[in-house]
Amino acid sequence: MDFIRQSLIGPISEFLWSYVLVYLLIGAGLYFTFRTRFVQIRLFPLMVRQLLHSGHADGGISSFQAFCVGLSTRVGTGNIAGVGIALTLGGPGAIFWMWVVAALGMATAFVEATLAQVFKVPAEDGSFRGGPAFYIARGLGARRVGALFAAVLIVTFTLFNMVQANTVSDVLRGGHSVGAQWTALVLVVFAAPVLFGGVRRIARAMAYLAPAMAVVYIVLALAIVVMNLAEIPGVFSQILRSAFGLDPALAGTAGGLSAALLNGAKRGLFSNEAGMGSAPNAAATATTPHPARQGLIQSLGVFVDTMLVCTATALIIMVGGEEVYVPGQDSTLTGAALTQAAIASQFGTAATWLTTLLVTVFAYSSIVGSYSYAEVNLSLFHAGKVALTSFRLITLAAVGIGSVLALEVVWEFADVAMAVMTLINLVAIGLLGGWAFGLLRDFDRSRREGRDPVFSAKGNPDLPRPLDTEVW
């Protein structure tokens, strides 16, 4: 396994991330930002209001529930372990590039979520199904490519579930000397009932779990910031100087500006998923009067994930002292263990249990949220009960196996799968962007005229072509 990682997976990951994806992500974000007239800034207050007043969806999944399913996979171990890895390998400057990717990614997230809504299809249980596989097949007429994306997504999120389980195992082993096999057993036992309950049960579970844990974590970070208020200006100064290579001493172990950019973009995408094509699967399930409305709500998820939760983790680590983290130097701690040690440096070893709880809940919510994405894409292959049950068992097996594998192996396989998935999706939303821009014009015009935006596809002049749909 280690030979395959070093000779094949590692070089592929390095090529895709160093020479392709970083530039595509930033380029796509800039393009969508300008074409939507800075939707992430212009309509930010409306995003918050739309989320708070999303209400209840009779016979379906509400916008808020769909937001929380998306948030459950966004706010996961990437926010705790991923930020720690980014700081170790890319230095403080990696955090700045995480912010850049997220700020631009909010526009990308709007586009892909809006596309997921407009091309969604009704499901047998009264909810909806959709996402990149559906808008590639229906919007571009490329059914084989849509099927390819669905297959890649299923593999990717199976690997992501291994990452989540691996992070929990790492925290329990390092902080509490719990054997990996026991972690595997507990995670499988707790994940099974929700996985076998279907998308509706996942939506109900995540409606409370994901936002509650995010709030607890942010409050914890604010407490640490207040305790170290005098150091915070210096922390932000380090982040900015390192981001542009102005202080070589602040670079990560990989060294330099390129390391900061690469690791910030890679870990930022793993965390907020903007452009990856994952969150649109949750966005499509919502019952909403206008596709752009859900696009705005899902865009807000990127802000919450990176600007709030990831920044919270960075501040926790960077004020932890030299015994926890020194920029540019190798450390025995990385990933979630680094964040755990930073919190313990502020509140004592008793806080280790709180960190363990947060990591476990974040990982658990990501596991069940990721499974829901895979289930949506399985429906594209008309999977029957036997196939669905088999995949649920495979997901549980992946959780168990991920708990005992080495951290480097799990992350590198996940990085390659994530890169392939993102490439397909970015090309697709670039080609289909006109639909999202047209829907945004329709949404903006309704608001200017004082009407609550309600979308109708029939004879709509803002659409690139007539829409064949049984939903709108």
Q: How confident is the model at residue 369 (pLDDT cuts 50, 70, 90)?
A: confident
Q: DSSP letters of 36-78?
A: TTSHHHHTHHHHHHHHHT----TTSB-HHHHHHHHHHHHSSHI
Q: For position 118, what pLDDT does the model report?
A: 95
Question: What CATH topology corresponds to 8-429?
Answer: Amino acid/polyamine transporter I (1.20.1740)
Q: Decide if pLDDT at 249 tops 60.
A: no
What the block records as the tokens of 433 is 């962007």
Place of tokens 């400057």: 93
CA nearest neighbour of 195 among 370, 371, 67 = 371
Per-residue model confidence (pLDDT) at position 77: 64
Q: Rounded mean pLDDT of the chain? A: 83
pTM, full prediction: 0.86
Local structure of 406: helix, strand or coil: coil
Q: Where are the domains of the chain?
A: 8-429
Give residue-wise pLDDT tens across range 189-231: 888 877 887 555 665 655 566 677 777 878 888 888 889 888 9
Query: Is residue 58 pLDDT above 90, yes or no?
Result: no
Residue-wise pLDDT tens digits, 416-450: 888 899 999 999 999 999 999 999 999 999 999 98
Share of the chain above pLDDT 90, in %: 27
178 vs 302: CA distance, rounded Å:
33
**pLDDT tens digits for range 121-166:** 987 777 788 999 999 999 999 999 999 999 999 988 888 888 888 8
